[in-house]
Structure 1
């Protein structure tokens, strides 16, 4: 399309050209679903992307605003003005996209070349009225993985097995002793626990205790593992051997095999979270016997929606 013919396009036609470009990428290159939103209902969102994997919905939703304008890049970025009003009402870009559960992105489409680039819209300063779209963030097949990560982990948390704990699961937190010796007593009492009602067993060795309390771990991470010792019994009781997930090892001849068990845990004294237990064994070990390695919250540095947050100093 020549620049002269582009200049004759109405705003509505340019907008539809941009939406069509995004839809083509989603349907053809992402093998996912695109749901357009009527202009009078868009509120800064032109469409929704429902991600699929293997022909099935993953539960991840991406809200998309499309801008189809001819803008000259500056320092390898496209400077896009955000709308100051929505209809007759003033609008706050940060509030509009930050409240969405899922990802929210802006896709800029060049009306001449139909090249598209994207940028994350969540986390913008409340006073920001413009956004810079990097030219190295092409909206194409390769962008799917990066954008999917913006959705967080809520879609996985919803289907994760739920575990309800009670106050009696945490005697070491109610003890008058310091948490470390109280936790050590609880750890010794764990001894050997079956996974559900199966013959798969988990033993708790000195090696496991030394690992979660080793000086090289950050102090708060050690504290977290001690607190979570109370989760071990109810979590293992609710699992089956089919829940064990084999983890990759450095090479095929690596002597240790590592497995994980994961659950969404509800606590009697704090907000719930995802908790993961790591087990290990050698190929030469007794069949169906595992050793405890560690317990932790894999998403401890992420926000409520499971999105990456700012790490603690």
Structure 2
């Protein structure tokens, strides 16, 4: 930490004397205690504070004797301040106070982020060391699930700023935003770094003034141009609605996009014989070809048995849903061409996704019907076109029949639809 005023008043080469338990060192040597210290140094001087103890500044060869007691209580200055040394000591005390204050705020911000990510999100937080935090203080390793969280592969790069009475400069023209004043030069130097990281970069602002023990926090996407004030080049605008807490985990999953999730899907490579490929000819019909493929699949029980769900019914329930009149023609054609992929996925996919909430209906005889929709997903490679993420939709009905002493459940699962997940 350097100060122009500090350099202006320090025209001589000054020595250093550690006090209150430290041995006096020769002029110009630095203190190397066993406990963490806060230091400020410049040409010809070294200034160190540990706790409430400040190392004194003296002319070379005039350090006080070993074990000298502090004459100024709470400062550790062992010599009466002379007029020429007084401005140096006062400025050093002020500068160390700033350093300590900034470091305390920095730890408050880091601890807030770590608490939310690790305890509330059950995800991973990896803090960067001070020597490597080039505009990035750490990364969030996104995970899904609670009982056994699973890494999604999503990584979010985080810059943390804490200081409600320092960085926060709200502007009246942006009442729905918190103004975080980082400075024009800071943003100009670090914005390229935020845009280069191989993942989303966010700023988490922590306001320690409202509550130091449990401070509120907000986040903003640093790669969104709307995050930068159009009227102040040194200001970041953080939406007040984007609080950084337990409910914002879904927002960070969406920031990571679908790439991290898609990498976890199984890979299916189809041969030409497994696909519904359009045929050329005057009497050819894609609809007829798809219907013939569909009927052959329907009649092969082995090919429509899932390792988790058991038998899947392939009949007019799914065909009517795919070809309903209110569906766009191009969507219908897409589903016909993906029937080969659907067939392979039903036969081998073990990971089942649940869509929405189940509906429940209870009958007069005490039986209960539960209806829900399930999904299968995979990365599918085709012999005649590019690969794609394909999703199969299944419809499931479960009839629960209570009986004296036990409960019987009957289940039916229908193939309902198939489409490319990333193509609408």
Superposition TM-score tier, normalisation by shorter sequence: 0.7 to 0.9
Counterparts in 2 of 1:132 and 1:270: CA distance versus 1, 3 Å: farther
The counterpart of 1:194, out of the listed 304, 315, 335, is 304
Q: How does 1:112-151 map to 2 (within 5 A)?
A: 112-113=209-210, 114-124=215-225, 131-151=236-256
TM-score, normalising length: structure 2? 0.57
Aligned to 1:233: 343
Aligned to 1:305: none
The superposition leaves residues 216-262 of structure 1 with CA deviations (integer Å, 9 ceiling, x where unpaired) of: 123443232122112123223324xx555565422244474544333
Counterparts in 2 of 1:269 and 1:42: CA distance versus 1, 3 Å: farther
Alignment pair present for 1:58 and 2:151: yes
TM-score, normalising length: structure 1? 0.73
Aligned to 1:157: 262
Counterparts in 2 of 1:278 and 1:25: CA distance versus 1, 3 Å: closer
- Structure 2: segments with no counterpart, 5+ residues: 1-93, 363-368, 400-409
Name the SS for the 1:136 alignment partner: coil
Q: Please provide the CA RMSD for this pair.
A: 3.8
Compare 28-37 and 51-60 and name the one that shifted more.
51-60
Q: How does 1:197-212 map to 2 (within 5 A)?
A: 200-212=310-322
1:211 Cα deviation after fit: 1.2
When Rg is computed on C-alpha atoms for both structures, the one with the higher figure is 2
Residues matched between the structures, number:
290
Aligned to 1:311: none
Distance 1:58 1:18 in 2: 25
Alignment pair present for 1:42 and 2:133: yes
Counterparts in 2 of 1:220 and 1:96: CA distance versus 1, 3 Å: farther
- Structure with larger RCO (C-alpha < 8 A, sep 6+): 1
- Structure 1: segments with no counterpart, 5+ residues: 302-313
Name the SS for the 2:312 alignment partner: strand
Q: How does 1:63-102 map to 2 (within 5 A)?
A: 63-68=157-162, 69-74=166-171, 75-80=175-180, 92-93=191-192, 96-97=194-195, 100-101=198-199
Would the aligned equivalents of 1:200 and 1:289 in 2 still touch at CA under 8 Å? no
Aligned to 1:304: none
Distance 2:285 2:309 in 1: 35
Distance 1:205 1:151 in 2: 38
Counterparts in 2 of 1:56 and 1:280: CA distance versus 1, 3 Å: closer
Counterparts in 2 of 1:57 and 1:82: CA distance versus 1, 3 Å: farther
Alignment pair present for 1:291 and 2:395: no
Name the SS for the 2:423 alignment partner: coil
Would the aligned equivalents of 2:267 and 2:380 in 1 still touch at CA under 8 Å? yes
The superposition leaves residues 149-186 of structure 1 with CA deviations (integer Å, 9 ceiling, x where unpaired) of: 32234444333332111223224334444533433333
Would the aligned equivalents of 2:378 and 2:391 in 1 still touch at CA under 8 Å? yes
The superposition leaves residues 88-132 of structure 1 with CA deviations (integer Å, 9 ceiling, x where unpaired) of: x95544x7336523x432111224234311112344479986542
Aligned to 1:108: 205
Would the aligned equivalents of 2:379 and 2:388 in 1 still touch at CA under 8 Å? yes
Compare 198-207 and 289-298 and name the one that shifted more.
198-207
Distance 1:226 1:157 in 2: 23
Aligned to 1:309: none
